[in-house]
Structure 1
Amino acid sequence: MKLLSLLLALAMLLLSPLHAAAIDYKIVTASERGTYIQIGRDLAKYVAPAANIGLEVLPSKGSSENVQRLRYEPGVKLALVQSDVYQAFLDQAAAGNAQAGRMIKPLRAVMPLYNEEIYFVVRADSPLQYIHEIRDRKLAIGPVGSGTALSATTLYRLMFGKPLPEANATYISNEEALIRLTTDKSIDVAVIVAGQPAKLFVDMKPEARRYIKLLRLDNAAPETERALQTYYPAQIEKSSYPNWVDEPVPTLAVKAFLVTYDYGAAHGTADNLAAFAKSLCSNFDTLQEKGHAKWKEVKLDLPTLGKGWSYYPPMERALRSCLANRGQNDTRPMLNPASSGACTQQQKVLGLCGT
């Protein structure tokens, strides 16, 4: 009897790792109708299970809030963050903002993902045609704490050499911005950051053409040249929004990153996140085949990061090992987004001061 009990106990010990309960982690993304949340859901569906992780996908106001939640919210281990938002926190920390330093210094990049297009939406009867014509107009730029707010205010400052006047800034959701744009007309331009195809626009009916249109990037404008110091040229494709867009629309874009926290190599979370990184690499072809269309734009590599940026070593090692097995290892340097000023407005949209 004792021998039978001993054998049963031994069998349970041997089998338990195979049936261990998944570890519950969270990833913060963005709005329910944006691209980030769909990318998060793809990671939860195609990547997390092989790492024995149950990944809960959480909506948020966007990148700035994601930085704060990754830093302080229990259970949040991963976040999707725009490159200009991450850089803005680093710039604030370098300028002596202790709060920004506490939030950003322990965070680490996992890998760059794709470019997110920036949409400048105006009424169909608006006299505006180009992005550089938004000077002195009333802009809806996303909620305080969103990546869109950071991108909009940074772009404005780069293009025109001055901050967006607070009297011209409205901090509201993308959905509310489109409503106000076409009803009470209290705003002139809705600035929206979302990887195409974005559900917000995919769901629109053909009648939308009668109400709204997109502004175009003019490569000959000096304001465009200044914007391209930090942002990337991009194109909104007709195929992404056949109900709305008649031809490709040139615009600007910002890079999306998968980000985590520096738990240290000895922390128990390090092994779990390393397993997640290994699964991300192993299942990358599945992500590109079955996930959101944006995965097709992601290149599985770890380019050299800009000053102040660094990868999380346990995940970096797992990815580089997998990349070596796949015959890939791209170390091309990434563009380091330019430092930006106008601290008062920037601190506001980063959530570093009161609204």
Structure 2
Amino acid sequence: MSIRSLAFGLFLTTLLPSAPAAPAVPRAEYKIVTASKTGTYIQIGRDLAKWVAEPAGIALEVLESKGSAENIQRMRFEPDVKLALVQSDVYQAFLDEAKAGNAEAGNIIRPLRLVLPLYDEEIYFVVRADSPLNAIHEIRDRKIGVGPLGSGTALTSRTLYQLMFGQPMSPANAQYLSNEEALARLTVDKSIDVAVIVAGQPAKLFSEMKPEARKFIKLLKLDEAAPETALAKKTYFAATVRAGSYANWLTADVPTLSVKAYLATYDYGLQATVGNLSRFAESLCANFDELQANGHPKWQQVRLELPALGQGWRYFPPMERRLRACIAARAAGASARASRAEVRSPPAPVARVCTEQELVLGICRR
């Protein structure tokens, strides 16, 4: 090609319209349901939005809710709610109802799937500072703030009561209140005797209290010797509310009970949704260290593991495959790094005892 032809070709390209740029792939816009603004779930949701969803190209909106029972229903029916945080006892309660023949419970829970076990949520039994009650098993026949209707706290409160005392809580004694309402009823008008609150420590509701709170409220303790405790531990687990989590309020650790939290989703089949959630799973694994370093302190109790599940509990297969592959790759990488470090590291010198003569002459080489 002559120089003249080449120049003419370049001139033509300046006149021709350039090809339009490929349109940017729009980010998926999903939602996650959590709990109240003073609880731990909402902070966990915000961590997932920032450290996991954003790197995966997903705009994840974090929604408040009454808690786990509502979350399960919204996960099942509400558009764009693709993820939910749920308590293990609430999830199991839906499964039990479905097994007993409740068609509505079965319709809600059967398509739901788990993504990852998270951490244990502590159960706080709060009473007035001057209350004669000191242990959890002493709440029988007391007026109790059990949490809002539709919340995981309400189900936990009633389930625990049933387990400990072998009978349901009296409707006259159960008050369905938010955490803030329950504390107000407990300390101001004194219309309830106990407020039950479920939240992973440190929970904002308690961590922001002033030292004067000690004058008004205290926590009931788990008494391991009480027969009611053994009954409760058939479903729940022993835990400790640490004084370090609430330095302004507690002066000593308090033994209590806890319930497991899970990240849940739905058994989606739409290719785009499956692809987005699979990327979310990969990002969860890849950015897990960021969550533990920069997220809520509860992330440090989470293990990047997919243990075997009980009957009726199932992981979401596309996310499970991505997580298992990434977990295996992380383990292999850690093993390889450890092997390389072992090869590079010189053997530790073997200490020997110097003779007296070597010490005198200053020629001892240990």
TM-score (norm 2): 0.86
- Letter of the aligned partner of 2:69 in structure 1? S
Q: Deviations along 1:107-151, whole A, 9 cap, x unmatched?
A: 000010000000000000000000000011110010110000000
Q: Deviations along 1:136-175, whole A, 9 cap, x unmatched?
A: 1110010110000000000000000010111110001000
Residue 326 of structure 2 corresponds to residue 322 of structure 1: yes
User: Which gives a bigger RCO, structure 1 or 2 (Cα 8 Å, sep 6+)?
Assistant: 1
Structure 1, unaligned runs of 5 or more? 329-355
Partner of residue 143, structure 1: 148
Partner of residue 298, structure 1: 302
C-alpha distance in 2, partners of 1:316/1:5?
A: 50
Shift of the alpha carbon at 1:183? 1.1
Structure 2, unaligned runs of 5 or more? 1-11, 333-366
Partner of residue 38, structure 1: 43
Residue 104 of structure 2 corresponds to residue 75 of structure 1: no
C-alpha distance in 2, partners of 1:267/1:233?
A: 42
Partner of residue 8, structure 1: 19
- Letter of the aligned partner of 1:148 in structure 2? T
The runs of at least 4 consecutive aligned structure 1 residues that moved more than 3 Å come to 1-7
Shift of the alpha carbon at 1:49? 1.2
**Aligned sequence identity (%):** 66
Q: Write out aligned runs for 1:1-355 (5 A).
A: 8-9=19-20, 12-13=21-22, 16=23, 19-264=24-269, 267-327=271-331
C-alpha distance in 1, partners of 2:19/2:324?
A: 41
Relative to structure 1, the CA distance from residue 95 to residue 287 in structure 2 (aligned partners, 3 Å threshold; closer, same or farther) is same
- Letter of the aligned partner of 1:59 in structure 2? E
Q: Deviations along 1:228-279, whole A, 9 cap, x unmatched?
A: 1101110000110000011000000000000000013x53200100000000
Shift of the alpha carbon at 1:22? 1.4
TM-score (norm 1): 0.88
Residue-pair matches, total:
321
C-alpha distance in 1, partners of 2:14/2:113?
A: 51
Q: Deviations along 1:5-64, whole A, 9 cap, x unmatched?
A: 68624xx23xx4xx4331100000000010000000000011001211000000000000
Q: Match of 2:214, SS?
A: helix
C-alpha distance in 2, partners of 1:5/1:39?
A: 53
C-alpha distance in 2, partners of 1:155/1:287?
A: 32
- Letter of the aligned partner of 1:116 in structure 2? E
Shift of the alpha carbon at 1:2? 8.3
Partner of residue 345, structure 2: none
Partner of residue 353, structure 1: none
Q: Deviations along 1:74-124, whole A, 9 cap, x unmatched?
A: 110000000000000000011111111111000000010000000000000
Q: Match of 2:125, SS?
A: strand
Q: Match of 1:128, SS?
A: coil
Q: Which structure has the bigger radius of gyration?
A: 2
